[in-house]
Every structure is written in structure tokens, then in C-alpha cells.
Amino acid sequence: MGKRCVAEFLGTFWLVLGGCGAAVLAAAFPQLGIGFAGVALAFGLTVVTMAYAVGHISGGHFNPAVTVGLWAGGRIPSRDILPYVVSQVLGGIVAGAVLYAIASGKTGFDPMAGGFASNGYGQHSPGGYTLLACMISEFVLTAFFLIVIHGITDKRAPAGFAPLAIGLCLTLIHLISIPVTNTSVNPARSTGVALFQGSWALGQLWMFWVVPLLGGVAGGLVYRYLSSPDIARRDTGAFPSAPAPSA
């Protein structure tokens, strides 16, 4: 379990540093920024690279909503949830600290004014979307993310393509919802930057825990229904080659 938790820490760290770092440092660079599409691709690439690097160790969740969704889908035991989620949140927070240290090296940097890639709704939604609209977006997109994860890691799916499919799915999710919530679907990602934004992001953080977790459970239950009775097989989650949890 210790090695699996370290893998989850590293994977979540890379996801937050790579994705949120692209948003904070490169999205609107004065002359040639990467824009929404670049940020979306950055999030997808973090998942692809770390899934190939450490997915065979921990299952490559890097997201509390994925962990809870895989539990709901019958892929992991309940005893794995807490150590995985703690490792993921710590990875997100350390990544937020590193990103803050880098970004604050530029004159005029203000995380409160710029948002520091935090997720928000209402007046803090990039497009001014209401709380209800943001909740629907986060719930539906997280649910489908879990359906894709379950499907592509099913023993009947083509082997070796799971990291690519999951990374492309996360890219698509960001292309859809960056204007709505700045895209969370991952409570650890939201927490890691909200702590350093330091004002409104903390007050809205509850939504980016509650709704993605519910969406993850919904996606896991949907795929469990679709695949039963084959769901009896258990593993550590996203990658069938990962070692099975000890009894």
C-alpha cells in the first residue's frame, strides 16, 4: 500500500502541476498563449504520461472521484479509499505550492485577482454560469469519465490503450467545461489550487468535492449494471495489470 500511495501522490502532483500550471503560466501568455485547447490537452497529457509511468503500481486513479467511482463499480475494496484519497489530496496541495512558488516569481502576480486556475461557479465561473449549471456539468462529466475508465480497463477491452483513452477523455471534458467551472471533475485538483488562491475559491470548494464524488459513484454504478455479472473480478482500479490488493 505504501508504494501505491506514493504512486498516487506523484500522479496527482503531476496532474495538478501540469494542468493548472498550463492554465496559470501559459494559457494567456502575453504574445502567444496556449488558450483553452492547450490547457485541456495539458490535463490529458498528464494523465497519459503518469498512467503509463505508475498506473501498473497503483491503478492510476490520481483523483478521489475516480477512486470512489471505481469502488462503486466493484473494482477496489473500501479499505483502499482513505489512503488513496489522502495521497491524492496531498499530491494536489504540494503541486499547488510548487506552482505558487513558480508563479509568484513574476512581478505583479496576484492569485486572488487571477484566480490561480481555481474552480468556481456563479460570478467565479469563467463564463458566469449558475451554480445549478455548474453542478450539472461536473456531475455528468465526472460520471461519463468513470464510465470510460471502467470500460477501457474492462478485461474485454483492447489491452494497452487505457491511458490514451482516459487522457483523451479528460481532454474532451476540459474542452467542454473550462468556460463553465474551469473544469474540476477532481476534488484533489480543486483543493490543490484553492488553498493558494486564498479567498473565494475556498468558499466554493465544497461543490467541487460533493458533486464530482456523486458523479463518480453514478458512473461506477452505471458501468457495474452494464457489465454484470462479469464485475465479480476485482483489481486495484484503472489498470488490470496492477497488483491485486492483499486480503
Q: Tens digits of per-residue pLDDT, 32-72?
A: 688 999 999 999 999 999 999 999 999 999 999 999 999 99
CA-CA distance, 207 to 213, in Å (whole number)? 10
Q: Please tell me the pTM assigned to this model.
A: 0.89
1-101+114-226 fold: Glycerol uptake facilitator protein (1.20.1080)
Query: Exposure pattern of 147-180 as b/e (b: 16+ CB <10 Å)?
Result: bbbbebbbeeeeeeebbebbbbbbbbbbbebbeb
Cell numbers that stand for 226 in this block: 452494464
Rounded CA-CA distance 204/198 in Å is 11
Is 124 exposed, middle or buried (CB count within 10 Å of its CB: 0-12, 13-18, 19+)?
buried
CA dihedral 235, 19, 45, 77 (to 10 degrees): 0
* Strands (E) located in the chain: none
Q: Where are the domains of the chain?
A: 1-101+114-226
Measured between alpha carbons, how far is 212 from 136 in angstroms, rounded to an integer?
10
Q: Which of the 8 DSSP states describes residue 23?
A: I
CA angle 77, 213, 229 (to 5 degrees): 45
- pLDDT per residue as tens, the chain (247 positions): 899 999 999 999 999 999 999 999 998 766 668 899 999 999 999 999 999 999 999 999 999 999 999 999 999 999 999 999 999 999 999 999 999 999 999 888 888 877 899 999 999 999 999 999 999 999 999 999 999 999 999 988 888 899 999 999 999 999 999 999 999 999 999 999 999 998 899 999 999 999 999 999 999 999 999 987 754 444 555 554 444 344 3
